[in-house]
Amino acid sequence: MFRPPTTEEVDSELRDLEVKLLEYNKLIERKQTLLEYKAVLAKMNPNGAKVAEDVPSPSQVPTLGTVEAARRVLASVPEMQIGNIVLEARRIGWHGSGNDRTDKNRFFAAMYRKKDLFERSSNGAWKLRK
């Protein structure tokens, strides 16, 4: 004899379906990302050569240290506020945390410790020591 499902059984099946649909949505998003990536690769390299072989691994890419980044930034200006130093350092390739406060603290600490390279002016800006 046929017995209709209870509300608990229907709720349980609905929860199971929701989980499966979430997984399905993740797969669709991943597929879309890969298709977009493939299109970008095709635009960058239309002749079909393998691009990945030309890219150095992260361990081979030289990193720019905080002190060296500050030195390079300040070499081209008389003096600069620390927030602008961080922005300029990121522009020239310094990899910070991405958090402005953390990165400002890193630069402050690095330049404060290297008093032989950097000095702070009366208005709070930093410059290279002459």
pLDDT digits (tens, 9 = 90+) for 118-127: 999 989 999 9
**Residue 71 domain flag:** yes
**Residue 22 domain flag:** yes
Average pLDDT over residues 58-86: 86
In the numeric block, the tokens 């406060």 are attached to 101
Q: Is the pLDDT of residue 46 over 90?
A: no
Average pLDDT over residues 53-68: 68
User: Which residues, other chains included, contact 44 with Cβ-Cβ below 8 Å and sequence gap of 6+?
Assistant: 51
Give the residue, 116 or 98, on which the prediction is more confident: 116
Specify whether 70 is located in the same domain as 50.
no
> Quick one: which H or E segment has residue 79?
none
Specify whether 95 is located in the same domain as 45.
no
| pLDDT reported for residue 130 | 83
**Residue 59 domain flag:** no
Specify whether 101 is located in the same domain as 50.
no
**Residue 94 domain flag:** yes
Question: What average pLDDT is seen over the chain?
Answer: 86
Q: Is the pLDDT of residue 21 over 80?
A: yes
| pLDDT reported for residue 89 | 92
Residue 23's alpha-carbon distances to 9, 55, 57, in angstroms, are 22, 32, 31
Specify whether 32 is located in the same domain as 72.
no
Q: Containing domain of residue 100, as a range? A: 66-128
Specify whether 47 is located in the same domain as 20.
yes
Helical H segments across the chain, by residue range: 7-44, 66-75, 82-91, 100-113
Specify whether 77 is located in the same domain as 122.
yes
Count of domains observed in the chain: 2
**Residue 99 domain flag:** yes
Specify whether 50 is located in the same domain as 87.
no
